[in-house]
Structure 1
């Protein structure tokens, strides 16, 4: 933008210098950037015809029109920049809120994971304890059943022994002739 400002002021200086009545006999001077204020026009000499003043006034009018247009464009640009800045601020605030929500969800997720891991460990410990209890109970029942089975076998053997003895005693009670046939 500084290059545009310098070119604008240089062009404006050249136009003003060309319009001055005392500049008609001189060589054009290299443009020098004046202060940002617009110089006041001197009144034309009374001996000058009115045609150059009209031309000078119309040139100043076009310069003022240019300045007005530039000011309007600058104001519009400034308004657009303010709107963009407001939009960026709104987007930035929305981004910050989204980041805060994301952090909150991450914390909540970590808490849920921690709770889930603790619950899983608790359930696993309960399951292992229940499995141990069931194994111990089934082992005890199996041992009781094995003991009952052994006792039943012993009773069966004892019963068979008694039955053999009873059979032997009943044979011994038979007369001798019948003993030989049996």
Structure 2
């Protein structure tokens, strides 16, 4: 009986610790893509996009990431290349991404690269309020920093690199 009580107490303690941990999540849209070939469904970053990817690394130079997630496109992966993250995992579905992070990466620092039509959806899926109404095809300079603790999430929006809206 004592062993069972001890096991139950330890399980409860570890559960509380995992819920008390804060997960830091950074979310960006991929940098500018090469639009020279309109038929290319998976383009590389443009020259401007490679510069922005470098600006992202400068902006986040003090952040040490445990893991990153990117859609299986060249441009999302290339946006993260300058960050030197050991493990980059492909994702396709926002709900599955959020569930995976909440289950397996609690308390870690995470980078997510997405697209103009998914970045704000990701922010909301973690439970934070959408900080902008939308992202257009021309919005490349926004970055979102989520702090997730249990089921509560807060988001701060910033900008990096050359302002896209001059």
Q: Work out whether the TM-score is over 0.5.
A: no
Structure with higher helix content? 1
Report the TM-score range of the alignment, normalised by the length of the smaller protein: under 0.3
Larger relative contact order (Cα-Cα within 8 Å, sequence gap ≥ 6) = 2
Structure showing greater radius of gyration is 1
Structure with higher strand content? 2
